[in-house]
């Protein structure tokens, strides 16, 4: 009866969430729409330049103002969403896949595999992330796909470590032993019992990590290593805006704010999911 005293009331999905969580979810919904169908949110072409209306401040007709070429910043940001966000998300998915593979083999594949894989992970973790990404892009060349791969390589070791740690805990559980006692072969135990129970915290980390990956995408494109110039990547826009900052602050502030809000929303949502009672994610 003591335990019932201190048991928290079960949270009902979003009903009890703070307004900030609501806002974060709403903003991410907008991001999804902008990525899938930017035409729904913005009219006109992101590349349509108007030489007569350069560096216009935010106002009627141009809600976020225009840039040095007279392109509408709002339209460019909306059309840039896909590149800016999906590169980060894609990198996270790649990193997660690699992390599950490496962590899984490391935890369940025997002592030798564990030693080799974990030393490789240590080596990757020893190199600072951005330096690693720059090295890779120097080797592979710039562009969307290559920056995605570079960011995935930076993020994967962290996931591999967590997957391995989780699997080692779950492998010692009573239900894993019960499955062994039932005569289940190891691969089936791993797929049916171990991975599904080890992954929820990893997925939570991925939610938080995708924000960081989007930030890293923007950083690479800020350094001119993302997609080629006319493409409306947020990081590249931020870099261009910086040049005109003293004349037109909005050219840098608008893409910077959207980038910040996106990463913040993912962080808020990730932390919210983390605080849910463990059982909620299990079904």
Instruction: Compute φ and ψ for 66, nearest 5 degrees.
Output: -125, 165
b/e code 193-229 from CB counts within 10 Å (16+ = b): bbbebbbbbbebbbbbbbbbbbbbbbbbbbbebbbee
Select from 175, 243, 247, 275 the one that contacts other proteins (CB under 8 A): 175
143-172 binders of other proteins (CB under 8 A): none
> 24 vs 179, which CB is nearer to other proteins?
179
Question: In the complex, what is the shortest distance from the CB of residue 278 to other proteins, in angstroms, rounded to a whole number?
Answer: 8
Contact between 180 and other proteins (CB under 8 A)? yes
250-279 binders of other proteins (CB under 8 A): 279
Contact between 139 and other proteins (CB under 8 A)? no
Select from 32, 123, 178, 203 the one that contacts other proteins (CB under 8 A): 178
> 5 vs 246, which CB is nearer to other proteins?
5
Question: In the complex, what is the shortest distance from the CB of residue 203 to other proteins, in angstroms, rounded to a whole number?
Answer: 14
Select from 41, 184, 240, 276 the one that contacts other proteins (CB under 8 A): 184
Contact between 242 and other proteins (CB under 8 A)? no
Could you list the residues that contact other proteins (CB under 8 A)? Answer: 1-2, 4-6, 9, 173-175, 177-185, 192-193, 196-197, 279, 282-283
């Amino acid at each position: 009866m003591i335990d019932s005293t201190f048991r928290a009331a079960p949270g009902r999905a979003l009903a009890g969430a703070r307004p900030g969580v609501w806002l974060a979810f709403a903003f991410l919904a907008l991001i999804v729409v902008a990525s899938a169908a930017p035409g729904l949110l913005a009219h006109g072409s992101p590349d349509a330049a108007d030489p007569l209306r350069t560096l216009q401040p935010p106002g009627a007709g141009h809600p976020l103002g225009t840039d040095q070429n007279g392109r509408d910043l709002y339209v460019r940001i909306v059309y840039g969403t896909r590149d800016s966000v999906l590169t980060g998300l894609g990198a996270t998915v790649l990193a997660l896949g690699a992390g599950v593979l490496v962590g899984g083999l490391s935890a369940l594949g025997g002592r030798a595999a564990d030693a080799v894989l974990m030393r490789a992970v240590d080596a990757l973790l020893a190199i600072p992330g951005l330096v690693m990404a720059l090295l890779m892009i120097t080797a592979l060349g710039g562009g969307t796909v290559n920056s995605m791969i570079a960011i995935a390589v930076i993020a994967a070791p962290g996931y591999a470590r967590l997957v391995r740690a989780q699997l080692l805990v779950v492998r010692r559980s009573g239900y894993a032993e019960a499955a062994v006692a039932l005569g289940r072969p190891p691969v089936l135990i791993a797929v049916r019992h171990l991975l599904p129970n080890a992954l929820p915290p990893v997925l939570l980390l991925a939610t938080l990590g995708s924000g960081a990956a989007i930030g890293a995408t923007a950083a690479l494109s800020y350094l001119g290593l993302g997609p080629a110039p006319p493409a409306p990547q947020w990081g590249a826009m931020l870099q261009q805006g910086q040049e005109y900052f003293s004349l037109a602050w909005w050219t840098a502030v608008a893409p910077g704010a959207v980038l910040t809000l996106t990463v913040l929303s993912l962080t808020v949502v990730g932390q919210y999911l983390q605080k849910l009672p463990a059982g909620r994610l299990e079904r």
